[in-house]
Structure 1
Amino acid sequence: MVNENKILVNDIPSKLFVGKESLQLPSIQATNIQIILNHIPITLSSVYCPPLPSITSPQIENFLRPLGRSFIAGGDFNAKNTQWGSRLKNSRGRLFLDHIQKLGCSF
C-alpha cells in the first residue's frame, strides 16, 4: 500500500509504505513502516522488549539488520546503559550497545 502525500508545510515529496517486515518474538516485538523522503528510504520501528525472556545476540541482529541504512527505532527496550542516559547498565543494554556500534548506528 503506497500513500503519496506531502509532509508538513515544507511540501517535501514523500511516500509511505505500510507493512514493512515486522518482528514478533517472545523477547522482541517490532512493528515497522517505511517512508521515503527526498528519495531516501527511512524505516520507522516501534519496539517493545519485555523484561523476560532474555534477548540473544542473534535476535538483536534479526531485528536491526532488516531496518536498512536509515532508520529510527523507538520504544521500550528494557535495555539500560549510561551511553543513552540511564544511571545503570544491564546485560541487555551492553548487548544492544555492542550491536549498535558494530553496525555503525547513531543513538
Structure 2
Amino acid sequence: RHFSVRGYTCYRADHPDDCHKGGAALLVRSDIKHQPLLPIIENEMQIARIEISLSGVSFQIAAFYSAGANSLRASDVWAFTHELGSRFIIGGDFNAKNRIFGSTVANPRGNMLASEVQHLGITVLHPLQPTHYPEHVGQRPDI
C-alpha cells in the first residue's frame, strides 16, 4: 500500500496484521527538517512518529490509533509516553471518552486515560466541536 501527497512525506504505522484496519499515519511537509523514528506497532496501538528541533529543543510529534475493541492498559500508556520522551505532541484516535478530552460522556478507557494523563502531568488540548457525527440516532456526537 502506498499513500502520498505532493510536498509531504508520509510516515505510517500499519496494524501488525497487515490488513485494512487500524494504523496511524503522519504527514510532514517536505521542507520541515525532521528525523523519522521507528513506529510503535502493537495489536493494541499503532503510533507513527518523528522528531523535530525548534530553537535547539527536540521533541516528538506522533499520530496514534487504538481500536475501541482493543485492550489499552495504564501500563501501555506509561510505556508509549515514556518512549515519546519528556516533550511530545500526540494526536489521533484513542477511542477514549472523558470530560477532560471534551466529551460529554465517559467510558472506562477514557477514565483510565484521563487518570494517566493527570498522573503524568500531560496537557490535553481538544477541539471544541464534535469531530464525529454518528449515523445512529441514539448515539451522541463525538470528539
TM-score range, shorter chain: 0.7 to 0.9
| Equivalent position to 1:16, from 30, 34, 43 | 34
Percent of counterpart pairs with the same letter?
Answer: 31
SS of 2:35's equivalent in the other structure is strand
- Cα deviations across residues 5-43 of structure 1 (Å, max 9, x unaligned)? 976xxxxxxx4111x242111111111101000011111
Letter in 2 for 1:68: G
Structure in which a larger fraction of residues adopt strand: 1
SS of 2:34's equivalent in the other structure is strand
1:55 CA drift (Å): 0.9
Aligned to 1:87: 104
Task: Determine the C-alpha separation between the residues in 1 that align with 2:67 and 2:31.
Answer: 36
5+ unaligned residues in a row in structure 1: which ranges? 8-14
Give the number of aligned pairs. 95
Aligned to 1:100: 117
Aligned to 2:46: 29
5+ unaligned residues in a row in structure 2: which ranges? 1-29, 125-143
Aligned to 1:40: 57
Moved >2 Å (runs of 4+): none
Normalising by structure 2, what TM-score? 0.61
C-alpha RMSD over aligned residues? 1.7
Letter in 2 for 1:74: G
Structure in which a larger fraction of residues adopt helix: 1
Task: Determine the C-alpha separation between the residues in 2 that align with 1:45 and 1:98.
Answer: 21
Normalising by structure 1, what TM-score? 0.80
Task: Determine the C-alpha separation between the residues in 2 that align with 1:21 and 1:104.
Answer: 25
**Higher deviation after alignment, 30-39 or 95-104:** 95-104
Task: Determine the C-alpha separation between the residues in 1 that align with 2:100 and 2:84.
Answer: 22
- Cα deviations across residues 45-78 of structure 1 (Å, max 9, x unaligned)? 1000101122112111111111111111000100
